Amino acid sequence: MKIVKIILIILIGISVFLFIMYRAAKLIAPDHYPNAEEYKLNISDSELIKKIAKFKTDNPQYIPPTSMQLTDGWDSKIHFYYYIYFYYSQENQIVFAYVKNDNKPQSTFALVSINDGLILGHWKDINKDFDKTENNEQKKKFEERILNKIILPKGLYKL
């Protein structure tokens, strides 16, 4: 009986240690957005950013209200991520995405999170905070409304 208690204590200790290590690894992971839904594109980041800007010019309904003060642009420190915000007026949601410079002729376009309403702070991360059905719906909506209109006509992406 005493041996069983010792084994149980050891197993619990190992489990706690592994959980702590897992959480610590996520904190220091090199990717700032580990849950983002990434789309690898056969186009440079600069060309993709131009296409996104043209999409927003041609489809101003996807531009967040100016009162939100959300502007697209490179992150201020390392210029590795180009942040982009879209607006779904039907659902009154702000969409946060990025273009990542892959230092190749390819780039990454990613859906990161959705904010409900026009008051920031109600963000839900894709592939994390939504249940499976709603998560799939959000990804499909992003692909149909934004990604496919920017990229698909030229067949430049793969999932």
Which pLDDT value is given to residue 80? 85
DSSP, res 57:
H
Residues 6+ positions from 89 with CB-CB distance below 8 Å: 61
Predicted confidence band at 159 (pLDDT cuts at 50, 70, 90)?
very low
Q: How far apart are CA 94 and CA 118, in angstroms?
A: 7
Q: Residue 128 is encoded by which pair of tokens?
A: 């994390």
Which pLDDT value is given to residue 27? 52
Q: Residue 72 is encoded by which pair of tokens?
A: 């697209």
pTM here is 0.76
Which pLDDT value is given to residue 102? 73
Q: How far apart are CA 6 and CA 66, in angstroms?
A: 62
Residue 82's CB is within 10 A of a number of other CB atoms, namely 21
Q: Which helix (H) or strand (E) holds 38?
A: strand 37-41
Q: How far apart are CA 22 and CA 2, in angstroms?
A: 30
**Class level of CATH domain 35-158:** alpha beta
Q: How far apart are CA 60 and CA 53, in angstroms?
A: 10
DSSP, res 132:
H
Report the pLDDT averaged over residues 111-121.
Answer: 94
- pLDDT > 50? residue 83: yes
Which residues, listed in sequence order, are joined to residue 82 by a DSSP beta bridge?
Answer: 74, 99
